[in-house]
Amino acid sequence: MTEKEQILEANILRRHNILGLYPSMVEIPPRNAEVDITTTTPLSDVVHAVCWTANYLAGASYRYQYLKKNNAPKHVVEAARKRADELFEAIYRCQRVTGVRGLQARGYFLGHGSVYAERHHNNDQDEWHQGEADGQDFRWRGNPSHHNYSDSIHGLCQYYDLCAEGKQKDRAKEAINRLVSYWVDNNLFIHKLDRSRQPVQILGVTNGKTLNTRVMMAIAGAKVGHHVTGEQKFKDVYDKLIKQFGVRNITSFKAEKDFDDAEHVFSHLENLFRIETDPQLLKAYGIVADALWENHKNDGQSLFTYIYYSIRPNAPGKEKALKEANRSLITWPTDMMIKPRMNSLFPNRKPPYRVYQARWDNEYIWKGDLLKPDGWLSRIVVDVDVSPEDPLVVAAVDTSGDLYLSNDGASSYDGWNPLNNLPGHVRKVQFGSKSRLMAVACNNGFYVSTTAGSHWRKLPVPNDGGKPVQLMFDRNDRFALYAITSKGIYFSQNFGKEFLGKSWVSLSKQLPQDTVYNFHIAHGKSPRLYARTKDQFFTKLISEKNWGLAGQVGLGQYSKSLSFFGTDPADPNHAFSGAVTLPGRFAGRTIIQETTDGGENWSNGMQTIFKLFGDGKLMQMIKRMPLGEVNAIAVDPSNSKILYAIAKRGVLKSADGGQSWKTIEAGLDIPLAKSLIVPSHGKMIYVGTPAGLYFSKDQGETWNNGHLVLQFDKNRRRELGGAAFIDAFWRARYYGFINEDLANRTVK
């Protein structure tokens, strides 16, 4: 754990450090570049940075005190002190940058000009202001809450008592005086920079007589003000609040299971038990601590556990709670990149989940809701294609209609680049014979690029009133194109590169009208066209003049036809479809049906069912059928006997043409496939999952991360700093809950 703390601290210094201010969540730039801490930074969040920094300062103060108490090398102790001093200065700077004594900024960036929130029409645009401190210019975020003042005061008090020395002691005293005075001198209200706007009450929502967590924060703030400065006005407010809310006489304390307020009050109680001497009040604060702990005693919350047993050392359940708290730190990752998470898919995981597995990976991580299983999820990649010229050139489309291009075979995050110059929501993408030839179907039409996506040209496909579905290059004729809409199929013959996609003819006008179709093109030397209604197929080879009515799929009244359809890349007459059985004895199983003659005949039809029933073999077939509705099916380009499918859970694979199936999910962080893509070129298959894009090089036996995780803006990544680990770890060392052996034990 000691090494883990050092790794996290080093990363904080590199990426989460704006002159000491700690932005917990930052945007990680491509190619491992340094994080921008100026106003030009994309998406990094400082709206709660003063809170995060105050908590971090508390942990840094305990680090200094522990190292000093245990006679660590002088240079190590001195480095710990300097780091705590730097964090303090950042918090104090949040006051000084506003230009108003005691008014605290939520956070700041270096420089001039608008920040990301202002440029992107955030609701809080007017809360950003320009300021100056320490001879530097800052853009600071105003409108502080009572929580901002609460966190700052408990962090500053811990710094003052445990770490500040010499002139820093005086500066901490000054900072605390100004901070608490700002609301003590204003009738317990926190005014905004524009004093004509509604101020914030330091007590939060209260009926004026019942003690709650917000009132406890104010009581602690007033006590800290008096403890540090000795000024009577702080004692007067402290005594007034104690009397008004009947603190001396409480016999119970009611608190909701709120992770945010609990973090504030636990930290304040830590200070109160150090600085309060009145036995009656300490007894009352113990009741508050017990009530909070009752809500969180089974959470495995390291920080809450260490604080509680430091102030209530003889409380029951200590051994169990400390074991769980230590385990949380032992298993804590050093890679703090925010990852999609679906704990609900794993029945063996039960709430509360570990802090770093919480659904709400934002702000100061101890606020994470450990009871709700699923957190940030990636947008799903819905289409992938691989260049026939170069298998390392890969294109992908997500559910937001964004198009991405990789030139390293999806082997790295930095290899993916969004193509931002398309005017519509992309649905499908396909390469032509060269990597620079690309075709896309968007919600507003069809586009083609001959410059690897640098420029796009909209094609004059006939407007049939349908929605664009897919645009494809003919694999036998490099400048010929097919376009599919929800109402028809069109062909543009090769008149040369100059006339690519400029002339179109309908291939579906002979089909019966006023019918809803799903169209498919099975490529080959002579491509085959399929037009599917609910249960019926029309089909023809591209070389044939007329469409023909093919066989039916499904089991009539006993099933519901499913929309999936997969064709064999090696044989356009070979395809798979199917249906799901309706309520009854064998309900909810998918029947995979196969044709080898272009849809004329389908396997596993009613005749097959009757024959198997008569032979007593129907159950054998039913047991082999996938349970639940299959959503997609694909044929392996190198072996038509190998099929892939996705159902409710995971990816399915059949090595015998659909006679039997197994689940293949090794390597999938979230084994829930939402899309399945098997490009005709290259040797990999792809699935889109809530954890991002994954690919397999061994026909689905194992899966590799495709490094296209789409949670926020495009494929940008966000990272948490991990100061919460540092905050908890050093308290545990200071209080003796983690000894030297445990701190330095290698985790296997």
User: Residues 133-155: what's their mean pLDDT?
Assistant: 94
Q: What percent of the chain has pLDDT over 90?
A: 66
Amino acid at site 385: D
- The dihedrals phi and psi of 292, each to the nearest 5 degrees, come to -65, -45
Contact 427, 383 (CB under 8 A): yes
CB 730 within 8 A of CB 66: yes
Q: Are 432 and 439 in contact (CB under 8 A)?
A: yes
d(CA 230, CA 34): 44
Per-residue pLDDT at 362 exceeds 70 = no
Q: What pLDDT does residue 45 have?
A: 79
What is the residue-averaged pLDDT of the chain?
90
Model pLDDT, residue 363: 44
59-73, 539-553, 695-709: lowest mean pLDDT where? Answer: 539-553
Residue 379: what pLDDT? Answer: 94
> Which regions of 176-300 does DSSP assign to beta strands (E)?
189-190, 200-201
Whether residue 366 is predicted with pLDDT greater than 90 in this model: the reply is: no
Give the residue, 352 or 293, on which the prediction is more confident.
293
- List alpha helices for 276-404, DSSP H: 279-296, 302-311, 318-330
The set of residues, in sequence order, having a beta carbon less than 8 Å from that of 640 and lying 6+ positions away, is 568, 570, 571, 574, 657
Cβ distance 242 to 226 under 8 Å? no
**CA-closest candidate to residue 131, choices 114, 112, 149, 116:** 112
DSSP state of 315: -
Which pLDDT value is given to residue 591?
A: 84
596 contacts 574 by C-beta, under 8 angstroms: yes
Cα–Cα dist 471/482, whole Å: 6
Taking the alpha carbons at both ends of the chain, their separation in whole angstroms is: 12
Nearest to 359 by CA among 371, 347, 349, 348: 371
- Dihedral sign (CA 191, 192, 193, 196): negative
Between CA 53 and CA 60, with CA 54 as vertex, the angle to 5 degrees is 85
The residue type found at 650 is G
Q: Where are the beta strands (DSSP E) in 420-516?
A: 426-431, 438-442, 445-449, 457-458, 468-474, 477-485, 489-492, 505-506
**3-state secondary structure string, 123-145?**
CCHHHEEEEEECCEEEEEECCCC
Beta carbons within 8 Å of 331's beta carbon, 6+ residues apart: 354, 747
Percent of the chain exceeding pLDDT 70 equals 94
Q: Which residues contact 486 (CB under 8 A, 6 or more apart)?
A: 466, 467, 469, 516, 517
Map out the domains of the chain with their CATH numbers: 2-375+719-737 (1.50.10), 378-411+422-492 (2.120.10.30)
**pLDDT value at 374 more than 50:** yes
In this predicted structure, the answer to whether residue 17 has a pLDDT above a threshold of 60 is yes
539 pLDDT higher than 60: yes
For residue 716, the model assigns a pLDDT of: 86
Could you tell me the two tokens for 98?
A: 């506003």
Please give the backbone phi and psi of residue 321, each rounded to the nearest 5 degrees, phi first.
Answer: -65, -45
Q: What is the mean pLDDT of residues 208-219?
A: 94
- Give the range with max mean pLDDT: 44-48, 335-339, 356-360, 381-385: 381-385
**336 contacts 719 by C-beta, under 8 angstroms:** yes
Q: How far apart are CA 462 and CA 337, in angstroms?
A: 47
Averaged pLDDT for residues 462-487: 92
Cα distance between residue 453 and residue 612, in whole Å = 53
Which tens digits make up the pLDDT trace of 148-200?
Answer: 999 999 999 999 999 999 999 999 999 999 999 999 999 999 999 988 889 99
Give the mean model confidence (pLDDT) for residues 60-85: 96
* CA-based nearest residue to 659, from 578, 593, 732: 593
Predicted confidence (pLDDT) at residue 649 exceeds the cutoff of 70: yes
In which residue are the tokens 């200070």 written? 271
Residue 2 has pLDDT above 60, yes or no: yes
For the ranges 356-360, 622-626, 681-685, the maximum mean pLDDT occurs at 681-685
Distance, CA of 177 to CA of 172 (rounded, Å): 8
pLDDT at position 136, please?
94
- What's the rounded Cα separation, in Å, for the pair 603 and 85? 76
- Give pLDDT tens digits for 91-106: 999 999 999 999 999 9
Question: Is 383's pLDDT higher than 90?
Answer: yes
* Mean pLDDT confidence for 231-240: 97
Report the pLDDT value the prediction gives residue 418, as an integer from 0 to 100: 94
Mean pLDDT lowest among 34-48, 438-452, 459-473: 34-48
Q: What is the mean pLDDT of residues 389-410?
A: 95
Instruction: List all residues 6 or more positions away from 282 whose beta carbon is below 8 Å from its beta carbon.
Output: 272, 273, 276
**What pLDDT, on a 0 to 100 scale, did the predictor assign at position 250?**
94
Instruction: Note the pLDDT of residue 631.
Output: 85
Binned at pLDDT 50, 70 and 90, residue 747 comes out as: low
Q: Considering only 55-64, 241-250, 282-291, 328-337, which range has the smallest mean pLDDT?
A: 328-337
pLDDT digits (tens, 9 = 90+) for 581-618: 876 666 777 888 889 999 888 887 667 666 666 666 66
Residue type, 442: C
Higher per-residue pLDDT: 464 or 554: 464
Q: What's the pLDDT score for residue 676?
A: 94
Banded pLDDT at 28 (limits 50, 70, 90): confident
Calculate the CA dihedral of residues 297, 737, 219, 289 and round it to 10 degrees: 30
Return the ∠ at Cα 218 (arms to 216 and 223), rounded to 5°. Answer: 95
